[in-house]
Amino acid sequence: MSFLLKEMINREASKQPWAQRRIAITGASGTLGMALSKAIRAKGGFVIGLTHKSNYNENNTSDEGPQQWVHWECGKEKELEELFKTIDVLVLNHGINPGGNLDSEGLNLALEINALSNWRLIENFEKIIFNEKENTTQKEIWVNTSEAEIQPAFSPSYEISKRLIGQLVSFKYNSLTQIEKSKLKIRKIILGPFRSKLNPIGIMNVQWVASQVICQASLGFKLIIVTPNPITYFVMPITEIFRGLYFRIFENK
């Protein structure tokens, strides 16, 4: 009986992979962050919103947004380590777009926020997971990198920073051992233009985008693509395959 009961519980859990899971989202106060929060909560997950905003209110929760808010700053990623010990999924969704700003200040800011802070968060979360000896549940990192990895975004600084974090995520995934992959799953999110405060003329509805992200993650996709551009569905997987092959050429040298 106990075996049958366990099997029933496992089957039910597989149908609701986000139920009772603690999911932290950076950039949670933005348009996509709020949409992801709503979609995850609808699946039974507990959402922790990570925000840079200094005027955030940790009690400012709604029926659709994060159930908990935590303030953090780029350069102080280590301060989140205690929180990381309590979460199952880390969604890296924060970023900026300097637009046509071509000065070094704009580029440095884009690199710091879009790439380097993401990389430090990945490293910190990974370290905690691999140091846990009793954990039997696979943890996850989702990184929103953008179509700018493979095509113009009419913002050179944004493109450079997004391509950097995109390549770093590919490197990280390919550098994990099989044992490490059993403890940590890394997903990459590639999104086309959606309507938001930053992009009011975006083509896609953000709630639909968020639902597609959760749907593809539930199906086990490591490369999540939501865009009206058919080229991305063809080029991005090929790019990931060649990055993996290139890495394997050197991994034993």
Whether residue 233 lies in the annotated active site: no
Q: DSSP letters along 206-227, please?
A: HHHHHHHHHHHHHTT-SEEEE-
- pLDDT number for residue 134: 74
The pLDDT of residue 56? 64
Helix intervals (H) in the chain? 2-15, 31-42, 81-84, 104-110, 117-131, 156-175, 178-183, 206-218, 230-250
Low-confidence stretches of the chain (pLDDT < 70) are: 1-15, 55-62, 252-253
pLDDT per residue over 112-154, tens digit each? 999 999 999 999 999 999 988 777 789 999 999 989 999 888 8
Q: How far apart are the first and last CA of the chain?
A: 52
Topology classification of domain 13-250: Rossmann fold (3.40.50)
Neighbouring residues of 77: CB distance < 8 A, sequence distance ≥ 6 = 117, 120, 121, 124
Q: Among 158, 173, 233, 246, which one carries the catalytic annotation?
A: 158
Query: Can you give the pLDDT at residue 5?
Result: 39
**Inter-residue contact 117 to 72 (CB < 8 Å):** no
Determine the Cα–Cα distance for residues 6 and 70; give it in Å rounded to an integer: 35
CA dist., res. 232 & res. 153, Å (int): 13
